[in-house]
Amino acid sequence: MKQYVVDAFTDKIFSGNQAAICVLDSDTWPSENLMKNIARENNFFRDSFYSQIRNTP
């Protein structure tokens, strides 16, 4: 999992609302408990988890 910190609702660095974007390495979602623990550790107003949908031939 990769994690990015973004400044939401602004076009200026170090302003706006911080949010964490967690990009999952696989199509399998982590448990709800793990996502809550990650959000608690980040201590931001918002956290988002993202999984890319892959098309299979």
Using pLDDT thresholds of 50, 70 and 90, give the confidence band for residue 53: low
Supply angle C-alpha 4, 7, 10, rounded to 5: 150
Strand bridging mode 17-23 / 46-50: parallel
Domains along the chain with CATH numbers: 2-50 (3.10.310.10)
Helix/strand/coil (H/E/C) assignment for every residue in 15-40: CCEEEEEEECCCCCCCCHHHHHHHHH
For residue range 4-49, what is the model confidence (pLDDT) as tens digits? Answer: 999 988 998 888 889 999 998 887 888 999 999 999 999 988 888 8
CA distance 42 to 11: 22
When pLDDT is cut at 50, 70 and 90, the band that residue 3 belongs to is very high
Tell me phi and psi for residue 3, to 5 degrees.
-130, 135
Q: How far apart, in whole angstroms, are the C-alpha atoms of residue 29 and residue 6?
A: 22
Tell me the whole-structure pTM to 2 decimals. Answer: 0.72
